[in-house]
Amino acid sequence: MKGAVWKDLPAWLGHAALTLVLVFCLAVPANAQTGTIEGQVVDASSGEPIALSVIRVIGTNIGAETAADGRFVVLNVPTGTHRVQARAIGYTMVTTEVRVGPGQPASVQFELQRSLIQLDAVVVTGTAGEARRRSVGNTISQINISEIAEPTVNVDALLQGRSAGVTVLQSSGMAGSGSQIRLRGNVSVAMSNQPLIYVDGVRIRSDGYPKNVPITGYSGRSGNDVSSPLNDIDPNDIERMEVIKGAAATTLYGTEASAGVIQIFTKKGRSGAARWTVQVDQGFNKTLPFGPDVDYQAVSPGGANYLPEVCPDDETGRYGVEPCDPSYMFIQPWLRNAWRQKYSVSAAGGGEALRYYVGGSWEDNEGVMVLDEEKRGSIRGNFDFSPVENLELSWNTSYTNSNIINTPAGNNAQGITLNAYRRNRNYAGTSHPDTIDQFLDFDIRTAIDRFITGVTFRYAPTDNLLQRVTFGYDQASSELRSVRAYGFRYRRYGILSSRRWSNTTATVDYLGTLNLDLTENINNSFSWGGQVISSDETEVAGYGDHIPPGDMTIGSAAVQLADEDREKIETGGFFFQNVLSMSDRYFLTLGLRGDYNSVFGEEIQGILQLFPKVSASYVISDETFWPLALGQVKLRGAYGQAGRAPGTFDATRTWASIGWGGSVSLDPENVGNDSLGPERTTEWEFGFEGEFLGGRFALEATYYNQKTNDALFEVRQLPSLGQWDNQLMNVGTIQNRGFEVAGTIIVLPNPNLGWDLGFTVYTNESRVLDLGGAPAFSMDGDGWILPPDTSAAGEVTYYSVPEMRAHCIIDPADNSIQYYTSTLTGTPTTQNYCTHGPNLPTLTLGFNTTFRLPHRIQLTARGEYQGGHFMPDGASSNGTTRSVKWPFCFEAYPVIEAGNESSLSTWLQSTCIPANAEGDYTMYPADFFKLRELSLRFPVDFALPGSATGTMTLSARNAFRWINADFPVFDPEMMGNTGMNNPVRSLSEHVPPPATFTASLRVAF
């Protein structure tokens, strides 16, 4: 789209910001006399010190964290008697009174009991400010980095397989590849389903970066994958993550939050001398076999043409590998065991008024494809400043620079993977490595700069009043350069593309909270606030064709093209929330968000979009009638609405300039829709969380049901309107519903010989309820949005979002669809437009287990199963329909050549005989299991004099997998030409995500 929507920020915003800053900066202390609190936090059972415990002086912004020995020092504490609180991950919270005198240290020791559900843990996401978990009526998934044993590859990996309701699917084995994240399925058909991302309260970009492809020509001339902005955050800087998964919990985020919210909280400084942490990671990536399990040596004597040309004469080839072996689909010469390395250092400390955390890292990760490499450097500085009593200023800033080189891959006729897979039927007409090597002259480089900064003022003039304002700024920019130099095999005269893209998100967020004790047992917390978000995206691109040798600039090209895109979106809103608490066990929350957005149609621009919220929580185990033997139990329920705004120009009439009869004319692009508004997702959920068996078993269960009304669907327009294309309209209704269950059991509680088990169960049933008069349409490829079918008997069949629909081979006896392992023989019976099932998993199972051994040795394993979904295999369909001898047909070819094809299954007859083959036949059930983590951690501080702690961790990620036998080649965690941005998951000519093996040394001193 060309053009822009430019609107100035409201004038009051600048004045309000200046006023708030002056108020905070001019505040004066109420008490100049201070003292110190010092002490230690230990495990009540074992007496072991607890590191990273949070110490807080209630009613102030003063606090500290414990060191590796469990000790802490809280400085600058006003004199008098204070309630001091200690909390740590995996333990119950403890509060005690401490008397502080002027200039004198007060000592206190905290003994914390282990706890699995932690009802008094503080959460932030989905609430107006901080809240204890016991008061929250919706489920919140927390990921605490201190509990993770493995050295984490990226933030995508942190989320993968750890929380029920969170689906993280990788895209490919390319360097810099981003993952697709879904929280409780797809809530939109037309818009992005990636959740919103916040870092330290600052809204950042969540959708993937642009694909590195020229602005003209076929969109597949690329590495055909995209990077994720989420992975610009260094995992070593993260303290914890919080995930809320639906509209019942995201109301306060307004018209863009129905797909869920992920909040990242980075590490903070602590009072005391600087504490340094150094980490060194070394390892490698390895591609596991992804071809069919066939005996190629048994079939090759009768059909050497099945194999690459080098096979009959050279069994190992000049690369020292076996290109004859189809277990890697003949791409072995261009794969490698890729080295990865990372070096990190951080320091945390501070004094009475200033606390700091600073960190930096550098990593160099080779990809398994021969050209792939990602180099990344990042730095972070987090500063907490307390200039006066009750005023705290936090400034969090990070900068990341990434440089990515990608191999030309995917559905790219000028790339390595497609031509290696198709062998002598490829675009070079030969499978010889010397010829395919020429495609490596395609140079694809992406440089990404990411700067995120946020300043938060917290002012608590009294114990019951808090005001907070956050100013956030996120700038993501990339330079995408693609060169096919003079002499390139398929563009002899050379092509050069250079693009400069940037996205800036500015946020102002204000919150006020007033806590009132209405009676001895009744407390009321009223919150109010507002938010303004401005997102500005620009791109300037150049393209040059016919480039002279040696000159790599667009200015030297004989043909030059330029392009420019600009978009600006503004969102603003306000909210109110009231939390009523009775006896600290009954909680009722009411909330309301009102929003405007600059992308809405003109007819509703002035109409405030309202999103209500209601939730309740009941800690039934605090009742006097509850038997102590039954443990802690909290019942909860929530109802809420959130939205998804349309795209920048979806409501606008747009035009394109074209040549016509030697003159310039206008061609309609988008007809526009003045009544276009947000999709509105309404969700209710209820469940419980409890701790049983004396604190050794925790269980959490949730049922959710969400419905998106006013869903944006493509609707055909009358040609008389001057447009042939479809127009987005708010006409549809879709639904997601299911269960989430998570459990943890401490089988053996002994710290020197312990065993913990955990599991998650997640189901999702998505349905299209109503198309609103729109016809059935394709989201992308074989992914369809279909209306419900009603049988003659009145039974209604609903279809998924999206439903995979394609031509298929069926068994006429029972109309069952035939797949790769089917045994039905005889004349193939085909059927048009079969409905296979959903594209996203309907069942996800997770398990984790940890063994604690003597001498602080720990062994951890974590696995994940995803199933119930279907994926089309575009790489195989492109091969079989082009008469490529495809590896999963190797054992069928001798039978076909002998004229005995009728003895083969109908699926093999239809797929392996080119005259019968259709691309739709390669649709598979995509069930799989992967061992996400296997790690062994043991102490090494005994060998490192002067260190406080030292650990060595050996880990393997995705080192084992099981895939449904009906999925004969590749990997279900592969995607098409747009990677994580693809609305429908489908296979393309990529390589799968690799297994990763890492040795990590971490030392603190």
Task: Report the greatest alpha carbon distance in the chain.
Answer: 98
The three-class DSSP label of residue 632 is strand
pLDDT-derived band at 949 (thresholds 50, 70, 90) equals: confident
Is the dihedral angle over the CA atoms 994, 265, 746, 628 positive or is it negative?
negative
Contact 976, 396 (CB under 8 A): no
- Asked if the model's pLDDT at residue 105 lies above 50, the reply is yes
Any alpha helices (H) in 322-478, and if so which ranges?
Answer: 416-422, 433-436
Within 10 Å of residue 44's Cβ, how many Cβ atoms?
14
- Asked if the model's pLDDT at residue 646 lies above 80, the reply is yes
pLDDT-derived band at 9 (thresholds 50, 70, 90) equals: very low
Burial class (CB in 10 A: 0-12, 13-18, 19+), 28: exposed
**pLDDT cut 70: percent of the chain above it:** 93
Contact 641, 681 (CB under 8 A): yes
The residue with tokens 């608590």 is 460
- Asked if the model's pLDDT at residue 290 lies above 80, the reply is yes
The phi-psi region of residue 694 (left if phi > 0; otherwise alpha if psi is between -120 and 50; otherwise beta) is: left
Is the dihedral angle over the CA atoms 615, 621, 625, 626 positive or is it negative?
positive
**Token reading at 880:** 């079989």
| Residue bearing the bigger pLDDT, 88 or 455 | 455
Is the dihedral angle over the CA atoms 725, 729, 732, 733 positive or is it negative?
positive
In whole angstroms, what is the distance from residue 630 CA to residue 657 CA?
72
The residue with tokens 């009906």 is 966
The string of pLDDT tens digits covering residues 534-549 is 999 999 999 999 999 8
Task: Phi first, then psi: give them for residue 130, nearest 5 degrees.
Answer: -75, 145
User: How large is the average pLDDT for residues 248-252?
Assistant: 85
pLDDT at position 30 is 39
Helix, strand, coil share (%) of the chain residues, nearest 5 = 15, 50, 35
Contact 957, 281 (CB under 8 A): no
Average pLDDT score over the chain: 89
Of the listed ranges 193-202, 248-257, 311-320, 444-453, the one predicted with least confidence: 311-320
The three-class DSSP label of residue 719 is helix
The residue with tokens 């003022």 is 457
- Asked if the model's pLDDT at residue 2 lies above 60, the reply is no
pLDDT at position 393 is 94
Nearest to 595 by CA among 255, 258, 259, 261: 255
Nearest to 329 by CA among 873, 963, 886, 993: 886
User: How large is the average pLDDT for residues 958-980?
Assistant: 91
pLDDT at position 297 is 64
Q: What is the DSSP string of 134-186?
A: GG--S--EEEEGGG--SPPS-HHHHHTTTSTTEEEE---SSTTPPPEEEESS-
Residue 182: beta bridge partners? Answer: 167
The three-class DSSP label of residue 589 is strand
The three-class DSSP label of residue 811 is strand
Residue 377: beta bridge partners? Answer: 362, 401
The string of pLDDT tens digits covering residues 616-640 is 999 999 999 999 888 899 999 999 9
- Asked if the model's pLDDT at residue 344 lies above 90, the reply is yes
In whole angstroms, what is the distance from residue 244 CA to residue 968 CA?
36
- Asked if the model's pLDDT at residue 122 lies above 70, the reply is yes
**Token reading at 910:** 């239809």
| Residue bearing the bigger pLDDT, 328 or 65 | 328
**Token reading at 467:** 């005001």
Nearest to 221 by CA among 229, 230, 212: 212
Amino acid in the structure at residue 499: R
Nearest to 494 by CA among 507, 503, 485, 505: 485
The three-class DSSP label of residue 824 is coil
Task: Phi first, then psi: give them for residue 143, nearest 5 degrees.
Answer: -120, 110
Contact 137, 335 (CB under 8 A): no
In whole angstroms, what is the distance from residue 473 CA to residue 579 CA?
31
Peptide bond into 812 cis (omega under 30): no
CB neighbour list of residue 819: distance below 8 Å, 6 or more residues apart: 907, 923, 924, 925, 966
pLDDT at position 26 is 39
Cα 794–Cα 799–Cα 805 angle in degrees, nearest 5: 120
- Asked if the model's pLDDT at residue 964 lies above 80, the reply is yes
pLDDT at position 300 is 55
Contact 351, 385 (CB under 8 A): no
pLDDT at position 946 is 81
Of the listed ranges 651-665, 701-715, 911-925, the one predicted with least confidence: 651-665
| Residue bearing the bigger pLDDT, 351 or 803 | 803
Contact 987, 928 (CB under 8 A): no
Nearest to 984 by CA among 807, 737, 804: 804
The three-class DSSP label of residue 660 is strand
User: How large is the average pLDDT for residues 70-97?
Assistant: 85
CB neighbour list of residue 520: distance below 8 Å, 6 or more residues apart: none
Residue 792: beta bridge partners? Answer: none
pLDDT at position 322 is 62
**Token reading at 802:** 């999206």
Contact 402, 227 (CB under 8 A): yes
Using DSSP bridges, classify how beta strands 495-517 and 465-484 pair: parallel, antiparallel or unpaired: antiparallel
Within 10 Å of residue 892's Cβ, how many Cβ atoms?
22
pLDDT-derived band at 897 (thresholds 50, 70, 90) equals: confident
The three-class DSSP label of residue 411 is coil
- Cα-Cα end-to-end distance for the chain: 54
**pLDDT cut 90: percent of the chain above it:** 63
Contact 51, 948 (CB under 8 A): no
In whole angstroms, what is the distance from residue 786 CA to residue 776 CA?
5
The string of pLDDT tens digits covering residues 496-508 is 999 999 999 999 9
Based on C-alpha coordinates, what's the Rg of the chain? 30
pLDDT at position 352 is 73
pLDDT at position 296 is 65
The string of pLDDT tens digits covering residues 548-571 is 988 789 999 999 999 999 999 999
Of the listed ranges 498-507, 603-612, 794-803, the one predicted with least confidence: 603-612
**Token reading at 24:** 């905070």
pLDDT at position 718 is 67
User: In what order do the strands lie in the sheet containing 141-144?
Assistant: 141-144, 238-244, 261-266, 196-199, 202-204
Amino acid in the structure at residue 334: W
Nearest to 357 by CA among 395, 387, 393: 395
The residue with tokens 């309907």 is 842
Nearest to 40 by CA among 86, 90, 104: 86
Contact 432, 418 (CB under 8 A): no
| Residue bearing the bigger pLDDT, 911 or 103 | 911
CB neighbour list of residue 829: distance below 8 Å, 6 or more residues apart: 809, 810, 811, 812, 906
Residue 393: beta bridge partners? Answer: 385, 457
Counting Cα atoms < 13 Å in the Cβ hemisphere of 383 gives 12
Of the listed ranges 600-604, 875-879, 941-945, the one predicted with least confidence: 941-945
Quickly count helices (H) and strands (E) in the chain. 9, 51
Contact 304, 342 (CB under 8 A): no
